[in-house]
Every structure is written in C-alpha cells, then in structure tokens.
Amino acid sequence: MSDLPAGIYFALLPQEYIDDAYELEVQGYPADEAASLESLRYRQAHAPALFLGAFLAPSPQSKPVLLAFACGTLTSSSLVTHASMSSHDPSGTTVALHSLCVSPTHRRLGIGRALLEEYAKRAREGAMGGVQRIALLSRASLRELYKQVGFKEIGESEVQHGQEKWYDMVLDLNPAEEDVQAPAEAAAVPGGADLQSIPGAAVPASGGTEPDPPTMDGPTQAQVIAALLAERTRPPAPDSRTAATIPAGELTDARGRNVQRLRCLRPGCGSLILLEGVGELREGGEESLFDLDADRPAPHPLFPPITPSQKWWLVTPSPMAFENVAFSRAVPPAAGDSGGRARKYLGCAECELGPVGWCWEGATTEYWVSVDRVGYRT
Ligand SMILES: [Zn+2]
C-alpha cells in the first residue's frame, strides 16, 4: 500500500463536503462529462460507504481540506452502465466507480493512486458490503495507470459519455489464483501522472512517458510532499525580485501560471507564499475588487499603489494551495459596496507584511494575490 506522509488521510466524505467534491468534479472533467451536484448528493446519500475522500489535516486557519475523492454506486451489472451513473442498486456486487478527482493543486503527487488503492482495500475488507468487483470507465490514455493498481482491461465500453471513447476496466477483489498479476510487473509500466479522474481531465501528453515513475509503494509522493512541507521551516530566503524587474513574458509559463515562487517582499523575510505553477495570472476583470480607498488596512511603504491595471495571481481552491499565508480578520463591506460581502486580506505568515491580496469572507474558492506586492525567486 501507499505510505502517505503525515497530514493526508482518507475518510468517507461527510455530507458537508459535497460542495467541495463538486468543485473538484467540475475542475477535473469537461462540462459534458462532469457529474451534477445532484448526482454527487445522490451518491453520497445512497452509497456513503462508496464515497471516499483524501483530506489534508486541519490547520489553525482551516478545517480539513478535501484534496481528492472517489465515488461510485453498486450495480448488478458486471461493468459500468449508463444507468449505474444515476442509480444505486444496494443488492449489486459490483462497484461502478464514477469519479476519481484530484485537486489541481495536488496532482502528480500520487494521491489519486493512493486513494484508489485505499478504495480497493476497503472494498476487499468488506467495508462496502459484499462487493466482488470494482468497474470503471477509463479514457485510453489512463488505462496503463489503472493497470498499475491491478485493473484489467476488458475492451471498449458501450457507454457513450461526452466526446471520448471509453474502455471498461475491472478489478476483481477475490480473483482466481491464475488471474493475480505480479505487482512488480504492474509497477514497471511507465506513467508518472496522477489518476486524475474517471472519466477525467486529460493527462498531459508527457504524463505517460516519464522515465522514473513512482511505484505503487509511493516513496516518491512521500518525498515530494515532505519536501514541500520542509519549505516551511527553511531559513529566510535572500531578497526577491519585484515583478517590475522581471521582463514581460517571463512571469508566466505557457499555461499562464507563475514561473517563480512567490515570496514575502520584506528584505530579510522572503517567506515562501506560493509554489511555482499554482497561481494563474489575471488582468483586471470584475474579480479584481481590491478597493483601496475605504475598507482595507493602510498599505506598507514597500508596496506600490494598486491601480486599475493591477494584475493578480488567482489561487484556488483553498488556503491549502498556499505554502504560507496569513489572513486578516473579516473586514466588513464599505458603505456603498454593491457586493456587500466582507473580505479578508492576505499577508505574510511570518512577518505579517500585508495586505498582499484578498478573498471573500466565508465560503470561497478564490484567493487573489497582487502581482506587485510579492517577491519572486525560483
Ligand atoms: Zn514576511
């Protein structure tokens, strides 16, 4: 089994996390493939033992954060059928696994694979009833990855769903002796990409051909996450560059995401705020409501004034996407603010330099960081 590092754990999805799961679902699937909120509610209500989440443990600033989930329904069919997507047959012995989603901020760490392994383990141990088989639909590019977890390919599915061609994959939980595959053989299949979804987001073209894939035992994912966590306790970084000194076009990669890490601007602090590739550059737009006049704390002298052309890093879907960040208390809306919602301001978690960004108070998935109020260093 995978050996996930401390801080990530599996648990059946509590009802109050359905909205969070739906958020991951719509981020992970094209619109014509994503399950509706109602479908997810149905699955959680009727088959709660089949709705498993991977959570990041709570911090002082946050309740547990849903990083990934897998959910399904029971069917008396031996393969995934269209009907099984919207119905649950309690007497069925096949789990039709409909969704496996990993937060975009936590992909390629092996969480999807570990979740699937945990799911199969629970099914084997009887936690899902008298289940004999897990069946799913895989897009062509993900078949090898499922095989690494022990799934067998049956062939092209008859199910029409979205634009893609789907393949039936099954994992028999009590296989006949001769059907058992040697795990070492399965693990040798190349493929470092996370299992993002079933059917799910496209895996990058390079995803299936990485030379050094993590094994099913997961030391790679443990190392990666341990390295991320270790960043929090490193000494202050040397002073960072400001956005104004970085040539246009070098701030973002081809996907429009930050090439360099975001750090606190205060000389001598340099606390790591955001890893590379997590923030999405946004210019203007109605989301960029950083009202400077009325309702925010006074800016630090280090900060340039925020102008209407201010650019932002959009960070989603939760505070856990940040490496370190502090939140102000809720600031009530200014008089005449049409939005009428309170906001919180973001600052350096170590020296409290801020505000460097903002978010709405209460339920939100969007965190906005000023491009000009953070430092950049690889
Ligand atoms: Zn700082």
Which whole number is the average pLDDT over 106-133? 88
Contacts of 185 (CB under 8 A, 6+ apart): none
Q: What is the whole-number distance in angstroms between the Cα of residue 326 and the centre of ligand 1? A: 10
Element (H, E) at 348: none
What does the pLDDT read at residue 325?
94
User: What mean pLDDT is reported for the chain?
Assistant: 77
Element (H, E) at 19: helix 18-28
Q: What is the whole-number distance in angstroms between the Cα of residue 304 and the centre of ligand 1? A: 16
Query: Mind listing the pLDDT tens digit for each residue in 28-39?
Result: 888 888 899 999
Number of H helices and E strands in the chain, helices first, is 6, 16
Which whole number is the average pLDDT over 70-85? 91
Q: What is the whole-number distance in angstroms between the Cα of residue 166 and the centre of ligand 1? A: 49
Q: What is the whole-number distance in angstroms between the Cα of residue 272 and the centre of ligand 1? A: 8
Q: What is the whole-number distance in angstroms between the Cα of residue 357 and the centre of ligand 1? A: 14
Q: What is the whole-number distance in angstroms between the Cα of residue 364 and the centre of ligand 1? A: 25
Q: What is the whole-number distance in angstroms between the Cα of residue 301 and the centre of ligand 1? A: 14
What does the pLDDT read at residue 302?
66
Which whole number is the average pLDDT over 141-168? 89
Take residue 316 and report the two structure tokens written for it. Answer: 């989603």
Which whole number is the average pLDDT over 144-161? 90
Res 6 pLDDT > 60: no
In SS3 terms, 305-359 reads as: CCCCCCEEEEECCCHHHCCCCEECCCECCCCCCCCCCCEEEEECCCCCCCCCEEE
Q: What is the whole-number distance in angstroms between the Cα of residue 278 and the centre of ligand 1? A: 19
* DSSP 8-state class, residue 42: H
Q: What is the whole-number distance in angstroms between the Cα of residue 281 and the centre of ligand 1? A: 22
Q: Give me the domains of the chain, ranges plus CATH numbers.
A: 8-228 (3.40.630.30), 235-378 (2.170.150.10)
Q: How far, in Å, CA of 46 to CA of 90, rounded?
A: 9
Which whole number is the average pLDDT over 116-135? 93
Residue 359: closest CA among 334, 338, 331? 331
